[in-house]
């Protein structure tokens, strides 16, 4: 497991966006653009993939401690900070409601069909007995 994997897992677990990661890195005076941060999260085969160095991960972790716990002068409760991150994300129910609204707009009204008439089947061919070289019990 390399630094990129650790960085990705922290990002997902704490529900952080690139701009929030950028702000966390600024807490420890480590400046990085969103584009540079996004390159860490790319697939390893991608041409713009960048290996996350120890210095970047170290500064992110130090900034994360300050972001979650606060400073000695201004302490924070980490669970409250994480709750703020969760509230910034849209819940899944909103996505579902929007999908349902889109479906309702695009669905055409159903046509009513007349019930099927039952037709009696007429046997055209009689039952055939095949003799495949086997002796029948008849």
* pLDDT, tens digit, 9 for 90 and up, residues 108-135: 677 777 777 787 777 777 777 777 776 6
* pLDDT, tens digit, 9 for 90 and up, residues 25-39: 999 998 988 989 999
Bin 51: left if φ > 0, else alpha if -120 < ψ < 50, else beta: beta
Locate the domains of the chain by residue range. 3-92
Q: What per-residue confidence (pLDDT) applies to 60?
A: 93
**CA 121 centroid distance within chain:** 54
Provide the pLDDT confidence category of residue 105 given band limits of 50, 70 and 90.
Answer: low
Whether the CB-CB separation of 59 and 30 falls below 8 Å is answered with yes
- Measured distance CA(138)–CA(41) in Å, rounded: 78
**CA 11 centroid distance within chain:** 13
Alpha-carbon distances of 134 from 32, 49, 137, rounded to whole Å: 86, 73, 10
Q: DSSP E strands: which ranges in 4-125?
A: none
Whether the CB-CB separation of 85 and 79 falls below 8 Å is answered with no
Write down the pTM of the prediction: 0.60
Neighbouring CB atoms inside 10 A of 85's CB total: 13
Give the pLDDT mean for 95-110. 65
Residues 6 or more apart whose Cβ sits within 8 Å of residue 136: 129
């Amino acid at each position: 497991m390399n630094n990129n994997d650790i960085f990705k897992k922290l990002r997902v677990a704490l529900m952080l966006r690139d701009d929030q990661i950028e702000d966390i890195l600024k807490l420890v005076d480590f400046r990085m653009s969103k584009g540079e941060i996004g390159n860490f999260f790319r697939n390893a085969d991608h041409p713009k993939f960048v290996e996350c160095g120890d210095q970047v991960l170290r500064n992110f972790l130090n900034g994360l401690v300050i972001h979650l716990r606060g400073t000695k002068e201004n302490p924070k409760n980490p669970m409250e900070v994480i709750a703020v991150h969760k509230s910034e994300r849209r819940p899944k129910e909103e996505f579902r409601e929007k999908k349902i609204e889109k479906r309702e707009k695009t669905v055409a009204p159903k046509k009513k069909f007349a019930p099927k008439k039952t037709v009696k089947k007429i046997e055209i061919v009689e039952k055939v007995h095949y003799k495949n070289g086997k002796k029948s019990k008849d």
